[in-house]
Amino acid sequence: MKFTKIYIEITNICNLNCSFCSAPKRKLGSIPLDKFEYILKKIKPYTKTIYLHVKGEPLLYKNLDKLLTLTEQYKFNVRITTNGTLLKDKINILKKHKNIKQLNISLEAEQKKKIILKMFSIHVSNFLKISPLF
Ligand code: SF4
């Protein structure tokens, strides 16, 4: 069986606290790189595309560059959904990894909506610079 995409939650930690987002019932944490690689090996026969988001803010992941390098090594296409608050800090890492095919910026993170919208306008030039990758 093949799947169009498989979601992997790399962290359930978030830097926002949106009212519509249910409070985490699980212990907060991020996936260790060796476990992430193990999952990549296991799912390789089943999909070409992984989605690095379920709950949490994926750009908070400490070793994001190494994690994305692993996704390249295993030849996955990557899609990411972010609340956008860390794009300024992480844009150079994201631009390095040509296998990122889609970057969704959620403007529904209502808690900091004004800040996010402001950041969106600040970083729109960066989005345009990387947009040919998507
Ligand atoms: S940004 Fe996403 S994960 Fe974070 S609190 Fe809001 S809805 Fe939940």
At 102, which CATH number? 3.20.20.70
Residue 19, domain extent: 6-133
Ligand 1 contact via 56 beta carbon (within 6 Å): yes
**Residue 106 belongs to some domain of the structure:** yes
Q: Calculate the CA dihedral of residues 132, 98, 130, 81 and round it to 10 degrees.
A: 110
Instruction: From the CA of 15, give the closest atom in ligand 1.
Output: 4
* Mean pLDDT score of the chain: 86
Å from CA of 25 to ligand 1 middle: 14
In this predicted model, which residue has the larger pLDDT, 23 or 33? 33
**Residue 72 belongs to some domain of the structure:** yes
Confidence of residue 24 (pLDDT cuts 50, 70, 90): confident
Q: How much is the pLDDT for 105?
A: 87
Confidence of residue 113 (pLDDT cuts 50, 70, 90): low
Ligand 1 contact via 87 beta carbon (within 6 Å): no
Q: How much is the pLDDT for 9?
A: 97
**Residue 127 belongs to some domain of the structure:** yes
Ligand 1, atom 7: closest residue by C-alpha: 21
Under a CB-based contact definition with an 8 Å cutoff, are residues 106 and 84 in contact?
A: yes
Q: How much is the pLDDT for 122?
A: 45
Q: How many domains is the chain partitioned into structurally?
A: 1
* Rounded Cα distance, 82 and 89, in Å: 13
**Residue 125 belongs to some domain of the structure:** yes
**Residue 1 belongs to some domain of the structure:** no
**Residue 78 belongs to some domain of the structure:** yes
Is the confidence at residue 40, as pLDDT, over 70?
yes
Å from CA of 82 to ligand 1 middle: 9
